């Protein structure tokens, strides 16, 4: 459905061309995070014209048709005369734009808007092409509706969040412009050269009835977690090195005895990071070799691999959802207008919750590896807490506290939102998915995982420096040395205690922004998976 146009001017964002097929995840990232412009193909406009003619024929019918000539939800039994149908759509949007709480991140809103535009483009919602063109105009102008974090139950779609976007199309509500300034939507439309839209039959409903918010969060979370799980493999390998562990358990033939694909990928990454490590090889020639390392080292591929397998399942669900036309009612391919339940967010909500469980467990194992570095009874010769002068200095003692606090929070965030349901709309909508809430808590969980991994990398880099005297005399593997170099570009090496919070934040930025993974891949012929 979405391709990147190759005819954009040099130095500008490539245009995302929206057709009638599935939405590409790279397009979601480009529009949500890189402000890529969007364009509708002629195929889309023709499909929308065709389905709109069906809605217009029903609008002239004396029989009631849901969303066209009736009220909504529990009020669907009331037929609305033609003279009041524009007011019906306007009232629907105004009343449903009822979010509250902290403002949702801009990238979430843009991903939500792209998802709704993609569904409009399928031609199955029955709106005029002008509606989709106006929606594309908002995205391209960088006008972002302000949405509170509370309001969606994840059934009948993300009603409140999507309603704020529809409200902005009408020139109402509050938005942020391309520079992030808050202003009235009417003012923002004028500044962008856009006209407010008057909604006709079915159009207000079509703009608010979808799983686009939770799907956008899932799509971005998948991309983020791919990166973080690879960094988790890097961190685990560096901890194996720093704790003088063995690489024997990561051998491909041992991993093949349990043919879990995610496990094999993680083990391969750890082998690649450890390849060429003098510290690891030295342990094989000593007078005593430990037969087994602790679980947090030895079982890293099994836990990280399980998270990867969970991620693969989430990718499948997300791909199906991006290929969907979620609305109620829908215009079928053969021209019928049918009510349905495809707006229920259960498929997306479940995997958002599932990923939060995996995130919590990966972070928990990372914290355990960090803790081993700090206990001189388990660190094999390192100073207590990696302190320069234990007693005078505390080293990374409290960095581990920070990790522990985050891990505890991640366990709470792993409690599924999707097992809850609160009936609404006078019991018409008596079971809901809570998928929007699952998406918001997963975003917080991913941020926590990035911070936990940053502390592990910061700690293992310090331990390796203490093992070999610093980068100039490094005995760690080439990949570990490259990662240590990246860390040392923003944080000084071991020494007396310093203000630690900025150092944790600096490494967190390396992890979250991708620079740490780039450093690792920069010395490999084949990038880590």
Half-sphere exposure of 246 (CA within 13 A, CB side): 16
- CB-CB contact of 116 with 165 (8 Å): yes
Residue of 66, 135, 350, 508 marked active site = 66
Q: CA 264 to CA 83: how far, in whole Å? A: 64
Residue 127 has pLDDT above 80, yes or no: yes
Report which of 337, 312, 342, 273 is spatially closest to residue 119, judged by C-alpha positions: 342
Task: Give the pLDDT score at 449.
Answer: 98
Nearest residue to 153 via CA among 433, 354, 340, 441: 433
Whether residue 508 lies in the annotated active site? no
- Of the CA atoms within 13 Å of residue 146, those in its CB half-sphere come to 17
Which band of pLDDT confidence, cut at 50, 70 and 90, is reported for residue 401? Answer: very high
Torsion angle of the four alpha carbons 503, 506, 510, 513, in this order, in degrees rounded to the nearest 10:
150
Inter-residue contact 439 to 218 (CB < 8 Å): yes
Instruction: Compute the mean pLDDT over every residue in the chain, rounded to the nearest whole number.
Output: 93
All domains in the chain, ordered by first residue: 2-210 (1.10.275.10), 217-322+351-521 (1.20.200.10)
Give residue 49's pLDDT band: very low, low, confident or very high (50, 70, 90): very high
Question: Which residues lie closer than 8 Å to 8 by C-beta, 6 or more apart?
Answer: 14, 15
Under the banding of pLDDT at 50, 70 and 90, the label for residue 6 is very low
**What is the arithmetic mean of pLDDT over 366-391?**
97
| Side-chain half-sphere CA neighbours of 238 within 13 A | 32
- Number of Cβ within a 10 Å radius of residue 56: 15
Write out pLDDT tens, residues 176-209: 999 999 999 999 999 999 999 999 999 999 999 9
The pLDDT, as a whole number, for residue 515 is: 98
Note the pLDDT tens digit of each residue in 402-456: 999 999 999 999 999 999 988 888 777 888 899 999 999 999 999 999 999 999 9
Work out whether strand 2-4 and strand 337-338 pair parallel, antiparallel, or are unpaired. unpaired
Q: Which of 184-193, 231-240, 280-289 has the lowest mean pLDDT?
A: 280-289
Strand ranges, E, within 36-191: 38-40, 100-103, 144-145, 148-150, 174-176, 182-184
| 149-177 pLDDT tens trace | 999 998 888 999 999 999 999 999 999 99
Residue 76, pLDDT above cutoff 90:
no
What was the pLDDT predicted at 221? Answer: 98
Q: What pTM does this model have?
A: 0.94
Q: CA-to-CA distance for 115 and 327, rounded, in angstroms?
A: 12
Q: Are 113 and 178 in contact (CB under 8 A)?
A: no
Is a pLDDT exceeding 80 seen at residue 75?
A: no
């Amino acid at each position: 459905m979405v391709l990147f146009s190759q005819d954009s001017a040099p130095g500008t964002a490539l245009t995302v061309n929206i057709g009638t097929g599935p939405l590409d995840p790279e397009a979601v990232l480009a529009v949500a995070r890189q402000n890529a412009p969007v364009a509708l193909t002629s195929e889309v406009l023709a499909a929308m014209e065709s389905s709109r003619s069906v809605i217009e024929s029903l609008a002239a019918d004396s029989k009631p048709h849901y969303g066209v000539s009736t009220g909504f939800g529990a009020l669907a039994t009331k037929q609305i005369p033609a003279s009041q149908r524009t007011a019906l759509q306007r009232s629907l949007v105004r009343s449903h734009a009822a979010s509250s709480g902290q403002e949702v991140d801009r990238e979430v809103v843009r991903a939500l808007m792209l998802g709704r535009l993609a569904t409009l483009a399928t031609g199955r919602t029955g709106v005029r092409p002008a509606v989709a063109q106006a929606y594309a105009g908002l995205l391209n102008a960088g006008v972002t509706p302000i949405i509170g974090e509370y309001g969606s139950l994840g059934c009948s779609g993300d009603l409140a969040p999507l309603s704020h976007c529809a409200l902005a199309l009408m020139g109402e509500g509050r938005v942020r412009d391309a520079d992030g300034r808050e202003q009235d939507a009417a003012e923002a439309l004028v500044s962008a050269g856009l006209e407010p839209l008057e909604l006709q039959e079915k159009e207000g409903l079509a703009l608010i009835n979808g799983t686009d918010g939770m799907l956008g969060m899932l799509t971005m979370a998948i991309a983020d977690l791919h990166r973080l799980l690879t960094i988790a493999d890097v961190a685990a390998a560096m901890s194996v090195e720093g704790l003088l562990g063995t690489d024997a358990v990561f051998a491909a033939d041992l991993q093949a005895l349990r043919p879990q694909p995610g496990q094999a990928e993680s083990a391969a990454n750890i082998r690649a990071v450890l390849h060429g490590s003098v510290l690891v090889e030295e342990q094989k020639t000593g007078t005593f070799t430990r037969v087994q390392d602790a679980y947090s080292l030895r079982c890293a591929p099994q836990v990280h691999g399980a998270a990867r397998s969970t991620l693969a399942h989430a990718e499948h669900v997300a791909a199906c959802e991006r290929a969907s036309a979620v609305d109620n009612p829908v215009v079928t391919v053969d021209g019928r207008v049918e009510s349905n339940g495809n707006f229920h967010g259960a498929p997306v909500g479940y995997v958002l919750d599932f990923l939060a469980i995996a995130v919590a467990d990966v972070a928990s194992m990372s914290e355990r590896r960090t803790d081993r570095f700090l206990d001189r009874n388990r660190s094999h010769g390192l100073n207590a807490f990696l302190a320069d002068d234990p007693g005078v200095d505390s080293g990374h003692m409290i960095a581990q506290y920070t990790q522990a606090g985050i891990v505890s929070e991640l366990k709470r965030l792993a409690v599924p939102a999707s097992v809850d349901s609160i009936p609404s709309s006078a019991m018409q909508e008596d079971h809901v998915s809570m998928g929007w809430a699952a998406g918001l808590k997963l975003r917080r969980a991913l941020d926590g995982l990035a911070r936990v991994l940053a502390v592990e990398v910061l700690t293992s880099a310090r331990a390796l420096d203490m093992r070999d005297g610093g980068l100039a005399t490094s005995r760690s593997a080439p990949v570990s040395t490259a990662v240590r170099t990246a860390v040392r570009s923003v944080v000084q090496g071991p020494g007396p205690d310093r203000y630690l919070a900025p150092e944790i934040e600096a490494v967190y930025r390396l992890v979250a922004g991708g620079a740490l993974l780039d450093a690792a891949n920069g010395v490999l012929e084949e990038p880590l998976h």
